[in-house]
Amino acid sequence: MKIKADLKKVQEPIQNADPEVQEVIKRVLVLEKDKLYTKNPRNINDDILTIIKQVVQ
Amino acid sequence: MRLISIRLCNFRQFYGKTPEIYLASGTRNTTVIHGNNGAGKTTLLNAFTWALYERFTAAFASPELLVNKRAIAQANVGTSIDCHVEIQFEHETKRYQVKRQCYAWQNSEGKIEYGSSKLFMKVAGDDGRWMIPTEQPEDIIGRILPESLHQYFFFDGERIDHIFRSEQKSRIAEDTKELLGVKVLDRAVEHLKKAKKTLGDELKTIGDSATKKLLREQGKLEQQKERVLKRQGEIETECAALDVLKQQVNERLRELSGSAELQSLKLELEQQEKGLRENLGRAKGNLRHLISASSYTVFTGALTGEFRGVLLGLRERGALPSGIKQRFVEQLLREGYCICGTPLEGGSGAYEAVQDWLNRAGMADVEEAAIRLEAQVGELEQQIPQFWQRVDYEQGQIQQWRSQLARVEGELDTVQEKLRTYPDENIQGLQKRLDETESQIRSLLLEQGGNQQEIERLQGAIADCQKQVDKHKLKEEKQALAQRRIQVTQEAIARLIEVRSRLEQQFRLSLESRVQEIFATISFTPYFPRLSPDYELSLMENTSGIAVPVAASTGENQILSLSFIGGIIDRVREWSQENTLMGPDSSTFPIVMDSPFGSLDEIYRRHVARAIPQLANQLVVLVSKTQWRGEVAEEMAQYIGKQYVLVYYSPKPDCEVDQITLGTVTYPLVQTSDSPYEYTEIKVVEGRE
């Protein structure tokens, strides 16, 4: 149980972040995960920049 | 990933298409495939790794010779033999069919040539319709079960400890972290840093904010304008006062005897001067108006000429109405007389000549428009001499007013000179004062003109300034936004780094404890595994109160490795349920394991056999007759969902046949081939043991 609780703590820095930071992190992670095993991940830098710009207005 | 079935076609020992080999899952999650040495157990394991990843295990000899020899030998020279492996699996709610295919053929020199392999995928959703996915099949498989980790799920039990040999250790740490999603975090951090740099560059291009400086400048300009405007007001007051003074002096001059006559002459001349100046101004105004309103007519001469030429041409060709109205011709015909008095009787030559005009008269509208246009152009032509006449007139007027003005000014000068030199000193004095006042007024008027120009310049500068201020304000907003974006990015990076460090630490500890649990259930030794921060796996013992490493035997190393794999599957499953952001999508993992009991003795075999069906969600074990002994069969019995036997057909005429008894049925393991080729068939074991 303790280990499970410790694993929960892993995500605390994300859960305690400001909504904007949280949103950026979540969307970036989804994108990265999606493209992790893609042989040619195209435009990932532009996509991340777009995420930041969309979230922080 | 839940494996559903596998089917081979001309893959190594398997001649032609095998039946679909369905794999067990659920509570009875274990599939056992029996086969003697060389029957194709390792081939079957490699069929999985080849189809999914185009990879082979270390024990798989000559991986370049994939296509069944019998199939090639029986085919005509140059005919391609299809070799493929089809795997069906389920992931989340979708069903996938993966097929890797290659071809081989015999060339005219009897040599066998191979084509490269190709991967195909079809996906079926809830509706059961099979579609070809838009993404690359490799990418889809990679997302479900990453290639770098395949050796933890498809492996050779005898060589399992090789995975954990020293040269592989760093890869284990990497692979495990990848499975946890650390790579996702690393990439996110790396790309966010790049994004932050781009945002920084953007901030630089927005430039320094100069709004304050511009506002200060604008303020200064406005002050200057105020000053000049104030001065303009003062000038007006001064001029008014000087005018009053001038009038008073003039009055006094008239009052003084002797000069009265001169004075009234002067005033009259001044009056005249004023009137003449007004006339001159009006005449100049008229001339300006005339030029701006009508001077264009002068340039229309050539155009009107051209217009008339065109019109005439059109008329001559009969393309334009003649200028005679249809109605007029009709009236003539009705009345029976031409305008020249000739009677127009129906059928006569005259009647027809006039009637002919009726056709040429054309449409009333066009006719009217042409006539109107012609009239207007005519008017335009008439305007040219009128314009010149009026210009001459106004210029004459100007000339006249100028010469009159020069005369009046001259007379005025004479009168003023007379007054200046008048014998009476009072009069002289007054005239001097008057001269001075006039000179003051003149200089004030000059200043007023200069100031007016300055005011206009300042107004322009202020407007420019305002425009720039607006632009900079926009920039400031952009700057603030860019800075906020950089801040958010920086914080996201910091938090992700923190998550990464926590994940590495916590996951390693949690993994270590699970590996220890599994190891303890299998091994009878008092040893316990320890996982270093680099994921270096070692066995320790603590009998003396201090943990010291032990030299593990091959068997213990195998158990250790199995415990590690089991631990990883377990913890990753837990983590993926806990975390969907960075962890893997999979929470279901299969294990396909060749020779699972390697060099273990009886007790360990029993323990491993008991443990492995519980380690993974799905287990496929490939065993030889010697490995499938009483204790193993006994421990696994409750988990077995499906069983198959690989029957090896040997072309050796005197080969020793072999068989295996499963439950009450005996199945052949080795048989004599009916052809000069060796091959393997797969047989389903009916019912459960």
**pLDDT per residue as tens digits for the range B411-453:** 988 888 888 887 777 778 888 888 899 899 999 999 999 999 9
Whether residue B47 has pLDDT greater than 70: yes
| Residue B133 Cα to chain centre, angstroms | 24
Residue of B nearest to A22 (CA): B492
Q: Which ipTM score applies to this complex?
A: 0.93
Mean pLDDT of B39-66: 89
Q: Where do we find the tokens 């040269």?
A: B167
State the Cα–Cα distance between residues B458 and B217, nearest whole angstrom: 12
* Residue B520 clears pLDDT 80, i.e. is over it: yes
- Asked if B578's CB is within 8 angstroms of A8's CB, the reply is yes
Residue B408 contacts residue B273 (beta carbons within 8 Å): yes
Beta-ladder partners of B67: B11
* CB contact at 8 A, B58 and B45: no
Contact B196, B493 (CB under 8 A): yes
Q: Per-residue b/e over B509-538, b at no fewer than 16 CB within 10 Å? A: ebbbebbbebbeebbeeebbbebeeebebe
Q: What tens digit of pLDDT does each residue of B282-319 get?
A: 999 999 999 999 999 888 888 888 888 888 888 787 66
Residue B169 contacts A, CB cutoff 8 Å: no
Nearest C-alpha in B relative to A52: B485
Contact check, Cβ <8 Å, B582/A55: no
Mean pLDDT: which of B53-62, B142-151, B480-489 is highest? Answer: B480-489
DSSP annotation of B67 reads: B
pLDDT digits (tens, 9 = 90+) for B549-569: 888 788 888 888 888 888 888
The residue-averaged pLDDT of B61-74 equals 85
Picking from B501, B500, B508, the residue whose alpha carbon sits closest to that of residue B564 is B508
B6 is written with which tokens? 């596998």
* A40-49, Cβ contacts within 8 angstroms, sequence gap of 24 or more: A44/B191, A45/B191, A45/B194, A45/B195, A45/B198, A48/B191, A48/B192, A48/B194, A48/B195, A49/B195, A49/B198, A49/B199
Q: How far is CA B203 from CA B209, B349, B388, in A?
A: 11, 94, 66
Q: Distance (Å, rounded) from C-alpha B154 to C-alpha B146? A: 12
Residue spans of the domains in chain A: they are 2-55
pLDDT at B621 over 90: yes
pLDDT tens digits along B213-256: 888 888 899 999 999 999 999 999 999 999 899 888 888 877 77
Strands of B107-252, DSSP E: 112-114, 118-124, 130-131, 154-156
Q: Measuring CA to CA, how many Å separate B132 from each of B83, B120, B127, B129, B328? A: 21, 8, 14, 10, 84
* A–B CB contacts, 8 A cutoff, strictly below: 121
CATH topology of domain B256-454: Helix Hairpins (1.10.287)
Mean pLDDT of B627-647: 89
Asked whether the beta carbons of residue A6 and residue B510 sit closer than 8 angstroms, the reply is: yes
pLDDT tens by residue, B77-118: 888 899 999 999 998 778 999 999 999 988 888 788 888 899
- What are the DSSP calls for B473-502, one per residue? HHHHHHHHHHHHHHHHHHHHHHHHHHHHHH
Helix (H, G, I), strand (E, B) or coil at B553: coil
DSSP letter for each residue of B318-361:
T-S--S--HHHHHHHHHHTB-TTS-B--TTSHHHHHHHHHHHHH
> Which residues make beta-bridge pairs with B590?
B618
Which residue in B488, B499, B582 is closest to A52 by CB distance?
A: B488
Are A11 and B507 within 8 A, CB to CB? no
| CB atoms closer than 10 angstroms to residue B226 | 11
* Cross-chain residue pair B495–A4, CB shorter than 8 Å: no
Say what percent of chain B tops pLDDT 90. Answer: 33
pLDDT at A1: 46
Pick B499's closest partner by Cβ from A10, A21, A33. A10
- What's the CA gap between B498 and B82, in Å, rounded? 52
- pLDDT of B689 over the 50 cut: no
pLDDT category at B580 given cuts 50, 70, 90 is low
What is the model's pLDDT at position B435?
Answer: 87
- Interchain pair A36, B507: CB under 8 A: no
Percent of chain B residues topping a pLDDT of 70: 94
User: Tell me, what's the pLDDT at B208?
Assistant: 63
Average pLDDT, chain B: 86
pLDDT digits (tens, 9 = 90+) for B247-290: 888 888 777 766 778 888 888 898 999 999 999 999 999 999 99
Which CATH superfamily groups domain B2-180+523-684?
P-loop containing nucleotide triphosphate hydrolases (3.40.50.300)
The pLDDT assigned to B389 comes to 93
Q: Predicted confidence band at B612 (pLDDT cuts at 50, 70, 90)?
A: confident
> Is residue A38 scored above 70 in pLDDT?
no
Which three-class secondary structure state does DSSP give residue B263? helix
d(CA B172, CA B166): 10
* Element of type H or E holding B377: helix B364-420
Give Cα B428 to chain centroid, integer Å.
90
Could you say which of B147, B498, B510 has the minimum Cβ distance to residue A7? B510
Q: Which residue has the higher pLDDT, B355 or B12?
A: B12
Instruction: Band the pLDDT of B583: cuts 50, 70, 90.
Output: low
| Other beta carbons within 10 Å of B639 | 19
A46 and chain B in contact, CB less than 8 A: no
Tell which wins on pLDDT, B2 or B368.
Answer: B2
Contact B620, B591 (CB under 8 A): yes
Higher-confidence position of B393 and A36: B393
How far CA B459 is from CA of B451, B455, B464, B578, in Å, comes to 12, 6, 9, 68
Domain positions in chain B are 2-180+523-684, 256-454
Best CA proximity match to B156, nearest among B64, B54, B42: B42
Q: Which residues of A touch B191 (CB under 8 A)?
A: 28, 32, 44-45, 48
Task: Using DSSP bridges, classify how beta strands B30-34 and B118-124 pair: parallel, antiparallel or unpaired.
Answer: unpaired
Q: How far apart are CA B145 and CA B588, in angstroms?
A: 10
User: What is the enclosing helix (H) or strand (E) of B172?
Assistant: helix B166-180
CB contact under 8 A, A48 and B192: yes
Residues of B with CB below 8 A from A53's CB?
Answer: 485
